[in-house]
């Protein structure tokens, strides 16, 4: 059995896998386009892919032996799921193990932007701190304010739990059939949710329905002085519209971990000190990144021995339904 892995992964999971399968790890850091990805995966039985690897229908068609794409991420927007389903290829992701780390980063961003940590740090390093003053570097308090959360799944709820600990009111989207949530949140239609959110944090997947969900009209429904936090996927926000709503003072700040055209950032967001930027690091702790590797490898191992993988997104051919050697 051959497993193609598009980058070295933290922890020891790949070493363990190498004891049971032939493991090929890509060492170059350049981004893979579909042709190069298909070329790299080639005749492999399994692939472990990163969130920017474009697993298109053409890639799947060019890799006829592939039985599983184990994405090293919770998001799977880089994969053509319909094509995988049609070809009977399993797709798996890495949920749960990254929930707390990502919620922690969302809160790092919320606290960092509302308490102006970047500006404070710069002031210290530039020797501009002249001593305590009553009006020095005033930020925005969170207690009693509303934290709006779009995407009330595992990560969104972990962010809400922290919000409750910080004394915030939690609100999320009303949905058919959703009468109560855990933790409890006010359930509002999108327009009302936006209008109520002093801080809006995104935790939804990127789908055709969430692309540019925060366009200019929706950003302007947020209260004047609101903050926008994105640790989900960049294209959920129209970045040019975000830059405009910051520039004209409608929003008080934005803190982003993900970008519409990653790794690029809209130039209107750079050099603003009401914007805090991180390099897509929501799950970036030593503990979480090795747990993600363990889970991706567990998914691969299961499929290669004809068992059900632990965290399927798309079900592939039923174990044992096809006599491949
Ligand atoms: C990171 O963005 C992930 O989807 O795991
Ligand atoms: C809530 O915001 C959801 O997307 O389910």
- pLDDT, one tens digit per residue, over 190-248 is 999 999 999 999 999 999 999 999 999 999 999 999 999 999 999 999 999 999 999 99
Do 102 and 231 touch, CB atoms closer than 8 A?
yes
- For residue 20, the domain's CATH number is 3.40.50.720
Q: What is the CA radius of gyration of the chain?
A: 22
Of 191, 204, 205, 206, which is best to mutate to test ligand 2, by the most ligand atoms within 8 angstroms of its C-beta?
Answer: 204
Domain shared by 214 and 297, yes or no: no
Give the pairing of strands 90-92 and 312-314. Answer: antiparallel
Task: Give the list of residues 6+ apart from residue 35 with CB closer than 8 angstroms, or none.
Answer: none
- What is the share, in percent, of the chain residues with pLDDT greater than 70? 98
Task: Give the list of residues 6+ apart from residue 285 with CB closer than 8 angstroms, or none.
Answer: 101
Residue 72 included in any domain = yes
Count the residues in the chain: 325
Domain shared by 109 and 220, yes or no: yes
172 vs 151: CA distance, rounded Å: 8
- pLDDT, one tens digit per residue, over 32-73 is 999 999 999 999 999 999 999 999 999 999 999 999 999 999
Indicate if the pLDDT at residue 175 is higher than 70: yes
Do 309 and 68 touch, CB atoms closer than 8 A?
yes
Give residue 321's pLDDT.
56
Residue 25 included in any domain = yes
Residue 223 included in any domain = yes
Give residue 193's pLDDT.
98
Residue 228 included in any domain = yes
Domain shared by 297 and 164, yes or no: no
Domain shared by 203 and 118, yes or no: yes
Domain shared by 114 and 255, yes or no: yes
Domain shared by 78 and 29, yes or no: yes
79 in contact with ligand 1, CB cutoff 6 A = no
Domain shared by 188 and 260, yes or no: yes
Mean pLDDT to the nearest integer, 289-314: 98
Residue 297 included in any domain = yes
In total, how many domains does the chain have?
2
Full-model pTM: 0.95
Residue 33 included in any domain = yes
- pLDDT, one tens digit per residue, over 252-288 is 999 999 999 999 999 999 989 999 999 999 999 999 9
- pLDDT, one tens digit per residue, over 83-107 is 999 999 999 999 999 999 999 999 9
Mean of all residue pLDDT scores within the chain = 97
Give residue 132's pLDDT.
98
Q: Number of C-alpha atoms within 13 angstroms, CB side, residue 111?
A: 10
282 in contact with ligand 1, CB cutoff 6 A = yes
Q: How far is the CA of 158 from the centre of ligand 1 (A)?
A: 15
Q: Which domain holds residue 124?
A: 99-277
Task: Give the list of residues 6+ apart from residue 77 with CB closer than 8 angstroms, or none.
Answer: 51, 205, 206, 207, 233
Domain shared by 233 and 132, yes or no: yes
Of 202, 216, 274, residue with least CA distance to 245: 216
Give residue 318's pLDDT.
72
Task: Give the list of residues 6+ apart from residue 89 with CB closer than 8 angstroms, or none.
Answer: 60, 66, 67, 68, 69, 314, 316
Domain shared by 16 and 54, yes or no: yes
Sign of torsion, CA 94 53 110 284? positive
Residue 273 included in any domain = yes
Of 79, 19, 20, residue with least CA distance to 48: 79
User: SS3 for 309?
Assistant: coil
Residue 321 included in any domain = no
181 in contact with ligand 1, CB cutoff 6 A = no
172 in contact with ligand 2, CB cutoff 6 A = yes
How sure is the predictor about 324, in pLDDT bands with cuts at 50, 70 and 90?
very low
Q: How many CB atoms lie within 10 A of CB 187?
A: 17
Domain shared by 140 and 246, yes or no: yes
Task: Give the list of residues 6+ apart from residue 148 with CB closer than 8 angstroms, or none.
Answer: 171, 172, 193, 194, 196, 197, 198, 199, 200, 201
Indicate if the pLDDT at residue 145 is higher than 70: yes
Q: Is 287 a catalytic residue?
A: no
Domain shared by 46 and 90, yes or no: yes
Question: Catalytic residue among 211, 262, 272, 287, which?
Answer: 262
How sure is the predictor about 319, in pLDDT bands with cuts at 50, 70 and 90?
low
Domain shared by 75 and 37, yes or no: yes
């Amino acid at each position: 059995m051959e497993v193609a892995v598009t980058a070295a992964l933290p922890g020891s999971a790949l070493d363990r896998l190498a004891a049971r399968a032939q493991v090929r790890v890509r060492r170059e850091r350049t981004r893979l386009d579909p042709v190069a990805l298909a070329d790299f995966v080639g005749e492999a039985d399994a692939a472990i892919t990163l969130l920017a690897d474009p697993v298109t229908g053409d890639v799947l068609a060019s890799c006829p032996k592939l039985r599983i794409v184990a994405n090293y991420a919770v998001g799977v927007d880089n994969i053509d799921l319909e094509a995988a389903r049609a070809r009977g290829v399993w797709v798996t992701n890495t949920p749960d193990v990254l929930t707390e780390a990502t919620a922690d980063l969302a809160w790092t961003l919320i606290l960092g932007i509302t308490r102006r940590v970047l500006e404070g740090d710069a002031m210290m390093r530039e020797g501009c701190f002249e001593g305590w003053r009553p009006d020095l570097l005033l930020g925005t308090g969170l207690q009693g304010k509303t934290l709006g959360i779009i995407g009330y799944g595992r990560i969104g709820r972990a962010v809400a739990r922290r919000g409750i600990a910080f004394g915030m009111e939690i609100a999320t989207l009303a949905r058919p059939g959703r009468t109560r949530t855990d933790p409890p949140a006010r359930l509002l239609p999108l327009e009302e949710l936006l209008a109520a959110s002093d801080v809006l944090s995104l935790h939804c997947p990127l789908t055709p329905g969430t692309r540019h969900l925060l366009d200019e009209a929706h950003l302007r429904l947020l209260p004047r002085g609101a903050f926008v936090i994105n640790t989900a996927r960049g294209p959920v926000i129209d970045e040019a519209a975000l830059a405009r709503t910051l520039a004209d003072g409608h929003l008080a700040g934005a803190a982003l971990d993900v970008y519409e055209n990653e790794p690029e950032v809209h130039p209107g967001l750079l050099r603003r000190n009401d914007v805090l930027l991180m390099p897509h690091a929501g799950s970036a702790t030593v503990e979480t990144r090795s747990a993600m590797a363990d889970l991706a490898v567990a998914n691969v191992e299961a499929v290669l021995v004809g068992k059900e993988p632990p965290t399927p997104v798309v079900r592939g051919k039923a174990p044992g339904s096809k006599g491949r050697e």
